[in-house]
């Protein structure tokens, strides 16, 4: 089975711009989670979607949003980028329901200048 894929892999944006990141889960997985990884804060949960519904959201400002499509693919959007948004954004998929077995993609490295 193909793993979790994320596009693009690398992105450079300027402060104030917005960005959209994409995630395709493992085939058959219906849950998609997003995490932000930085050297200072580590891995932090952004949000989780299952069957197009957000089931949980982390402690991030409203500039961070996401959605999930009927084919389970997901996108996250960050508006009005700040320097502190520079990070590795990781997507993870799981079967959903009660399982927490989350499988991560390679991430999108976002640099804000």
Partner 1 sequence: QQQVKQSPQSLIVQKGGISIINCAYENTAFDYFPWYQQFPGKGPALLIAIRPDVSEKKEGRFTISFNKSAKQFSLHIMDSQPGDSATYFCAAGADYKLSFGAGTTVTVRA
Residues lying near partner 1 in the complex (CB under 8 A) are found at: 4, 31, 33, 35, 42-45, 48, 50, 55-56, 58, 90, 92, 100-107
Q: Cβ-count burial of 42 within 10 angstroms (0-12 exposed, 13-18 middle, 19+ buried)?
A: exposed
Give me the least distance between CB of 83 and partner 1, in Å please.
Answer: 22
Q: Which is nearer to partner 1, 2 or 14 (CB)?
A: 2
In whole angstroms, what is the distance from residue 4 CA to residue 32 CA? 10
Distances in whole angstroms, Cα of residue 102 to Cα of each of 12, 13, 21, 83, 92: 27, 29, 19, 29, 6
Q: Which is nearer to partner 1, 14 or 40 (CB)?
A: 40
Give me the least distance between CB of 78 and partner 1, in Å please.
Answer: 19
Q: Which is nearer to partner 1, 81 or 90 (CB)?
A: 90
Give me the least distance between CB of 74 and partner 1, in Å please.
Answer: 14
Distances in whole angstroms, Cα of residue 73 to Cα of each of 34, 41, 95, 112: 12, 27, 13, 25
Q: Which is nearer to partner 1, 8 or 16 (CB)?
A: 8
Give me the least distance between CB of 14 and partner 1, in Å please.
Answer: 24
Contact assessment for residue 73 and residue 24, using Cβ atoms and an 8 Å cutoff: yes
């Amino acid at each position: 089975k193909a793993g979790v894929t994320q596009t693009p892999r690398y992105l450079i944006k300027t402060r104030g711009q917005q960005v959209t990141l994409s995630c395709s889960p493992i085939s058959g997985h219906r849950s998609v989670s997003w995490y932000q990884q930085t050297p200072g804060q580590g891995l932090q949960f952004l949000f989780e979607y299952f069957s197009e519904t957000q089931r949980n959201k982390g402690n991030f400002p409203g500039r961070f949003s996401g959605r999930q499509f009927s084919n389970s693919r997901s996108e996250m959007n960050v508006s009005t980028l700040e320097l502190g948004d520079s990070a590795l954004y990781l997507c993870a998929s799981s079967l959903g329901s009660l399982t927490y077995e989350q499988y991560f993609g390679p991430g999108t490295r976002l640099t804000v200048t």
